[in-house]
Amino acid sequence: MKLLEERIRKDGIVKPGNVLKVDSFLNHQMDVNLFNEMGKEFKRLFSDCPVNKILTIEASGIGIACIVAQHFNVPVVFAKKTQSINLDGEIYISNIESFTHKRSYDVIVSKKYITRDDHILIIDDFLANGCAVQGLIELIQSAGATVEGVGIAIEKGQQPGGTMLRSQGIRVESLAVIDGMNDETGEIRFR
Ligand code: 5GP
């Protein structure tokens, strides 16, 4: 998506450790007009899928997911990050290795909000090693629901997440795919 690539080029900041900062329009301050264009594009890309729910993960996926959901006219569920695990049987749980924070954490979703009848589109801001999305897929599978696909704003193609998910037969659509970044020059290459 040209608009998103141009914005990343203009306002994205490359940090050491293969991290792209997009705090000025996506991860901290949020450009909702841009999100709206992203929502339109995800709707076009997944127009053949019977999506009845969107699943994302707190915190930075929520803003994008809400605007995308308006285009699909469906509710959004976000997986909650938790340290204290409530094992009362009312939740689905999976463990995620964090790329940005280099630690693992549990995410939960109430059994009330994902059921076997659901056809779910996963939405997230970044795809790097794929752990976050894999954790969400596990939650959906625990519920016996269907993964219709994965919509990502920024895929870092130099990391293995995209290949790993596509090799499982999961449909992944990314609006911008980065091929490489240089934290000394600030250069960002797209696929
Ligand atoms: P993964 O689980 O695919 O390795 O990483 C995905 C998660 O890590 C995303 O939800 C995102 O919050 C975060 N993330 C991964 N890479 C980056 C990055 O380069 N910049 C930012 N801002 N977040 C990232």
CA-131 nearest atom, ligand 1: 2
Probe target for ligand 1 pocket from 25, 80, 95, 100, with the most ligand atoms within 8 Å of CB: 100
Average the pLDDT over each of 47-61, 72-86, 102-116, 153-167 and give the range with the smallest value: 72-86
The pLDDT assigned to 184 comes to 94
176, pLDDT greater than 90:
yes
Q: Which two tokens stand for residue 111?
A: 């059994």
Residue closest via CA to ligand 1's atom 16 equals 128
Rounded CA gap, 156 and 128, in Å? Answer: 5
Over pLDDT 90: what percentage of the chain?
91
Rounded CA gap, 65 and 62, in Å? Answer: 5
Residue ranges of the alpha helices (H) in the chain?
A: 2-11, 32-45, 60-72, 131-142, 161-167
SS3 of residue 114 by DSSP:
coil
81, pLDDT greater than 80:
yes
Domains of the chain in sequence order:
2-190 (3.40.50.2020)
Rounded CA gap, 1 and 183, in Å? Answer: 23
Name the more confident of 123 and 99. 123
Q: Which two tokens stand for residue 52?
A: 């009845």
| Predicted model pTM | 0.96
How do residues 25-53 score in pLDDT, each as one tens digit?
999 999 999 999 999 999 999 999 999 99
Rounded CA gap, 172 and 96, in Å? Answer: 19
What is the mean pLDDT of the segment spanning 119-140?
Answer: 98
What is the mean pLDDT of the segment spanning 122-128?
Answer: 98
> Ligand 1 centroid to 118 CA: how many Å?
26
88, pLDDT greater than 80:
no
96, pLDDT greater than 90:
yes
Rounded CA gap, 57 and 65, in Å? Answer: 9
The pLDDT assigned to 86 comes to 61
How do residues 134-163 score in pLDDT, each as one tens digit?
999 999 999 999 999 999 999 999 999 999
pLDDT band at 116 (very low <50, low <70, confident <90, very high): very high
Q: Beta strand pairing status for 188-190 and 172-181?
A: antiparallel
Ligand 1 contacts (CB < 6 A) are 19-22, 27, 60, 99-100, 124-132, 156, 161
Candidates 139, 145, 4, 129; CA nearest to 64 is 4
Average pLDDT, the chain: 95
Residue closest via CA to ligand 1's atom 8 equals 99
What is the mean pLDDT of the segment spanning 11-27?
Answer: 97
